[in-house]
Amino acid sequence: MKLYSWNVNGFRAVVDKGFWDWFRQCDGDVVCLQEIKAEPEQVHEKHKEVDGYTQYWNPAQVKKGYSGVLCMTRIEPQSVVYGLPQERFQGEGRLIQMEFADFYLFNVYFPNGKMSDERLQYKMDFYDAFLEHAQELRHNKPIVVCGDVNTAHTEIDLKNPKANEKVSGFLHIEREWIDKFLAAGYIDTFRMFVSEGGHYTWWTYRFGARKRNAGWRIDYFFVSEELRDRVKNAWIESEVMGSDHCPIGLELA
């Protein structure tokens, strides 16, 4: 089973930048997109009717052209849930939960904390609420989590760690939450296969950062410990253009 995750920074923009060429060749069973910045009604029908795939949309309601997640799957889920249970975390289009035969799959666009102290607190509260929710569901089935986590975990996960120690996305409290998440029994699948730095999933559009590979690894596939032996590969497709992020993949037996 091949799963993909990609923050596309605007679905309507990326479909004009070779998205469908990538989609056809990737041959994903489930493709999870974040920051789609669109509602289904704003997208041409040809982009919503993909042979063999069903689409599930969770666009932002509180602000048009903002946030939003989308799943495309050729395996019919047993159930689909939109958003976390708490009302304060709904409306921004940040999560789709899909239940399959052997696991729950979360497609999540975690909040960004750079705007203000209030948004940083919202991000940290969202993190904690998500972990609590995932742990509750984990009593029933294992968990797969993918998406833009908006935090680089360790110093090897970004090009300039020292210069960003006081920037949201690499703050101690944010990195500490990933530590807590892993300690709760989740695995950063990419690190099962690659231990060195220099592998990133996001680059600012400024300063020629992508050409210089001055990036951050803030997009992840996590699995709960019960799925460790089923992880066959995890990778980053840094050569794929169209967004300031690139796609990441996971293969499960």
Question: How far is CA 137 from its chain centroid?
Answer: 19
Q: What is the pLDDT of residue 60?
A: 97
CB contact at 8 A, 161 and 167: no
Please tell me the distance from the alpha carbon of residue 114 to that of residue 117, in angstroms, as a whole number: 8
* Interval 26-56: pLDDT, tens: 999 999 999 999 999 999 999 999 999 999 9
Find tokens 């899909």 and name the residue. Answer: 98
Q: 40, 54 in Cβ contact below 8 A?
A: no
What is the tally of structural domains in the chain? 1
| pLDDT on residue 65 | 86
The answer to pTM > 0.75 is yes
Q: Which residues are marked as active site?
A: 148
Q: Are 234 and 189 within 8 A, CB to CB?
A: yes
Residue 249: pLDDT above 90?
A: yes
Q: To the nearest whole number, what is the mean pLDDT of the chain?
A: 97
pLDDT score, position 165: 97
pLDDT of amino acid 119: 97
Determine the pLDDT at residue 50.
92
Tokens of residue 39, six digits = 């509602």
pLDDT at 64: 84
The distance of Cα 161 from the centroid of its chain, to the nearest Å, equals 22
Q: Given pLDDT bands bounded at 50, 70 and 90, which one contains residue 63?
A: confident
User: pLDDT tens digits, residue range 180-236?
Assistant: 999 999 999 999 999 999 999 999 999 999 999 999 999 999 999 999 999 999 999
CB 4 within 8 A of CB 32: yes
Both tokens of residue 163? 């210069």
Containing structural domain, residue 162: 2-252
Q: How confident is the model at residue 22 (pLDDT cuts 50, 70, 90)?
A: very high
- pLDDT tens for 74-93 read 999 999 999 999 999 999 99
CATH assignment at residue 174: 3.60.10.10
| Predicted pLDDT at 189 | 99
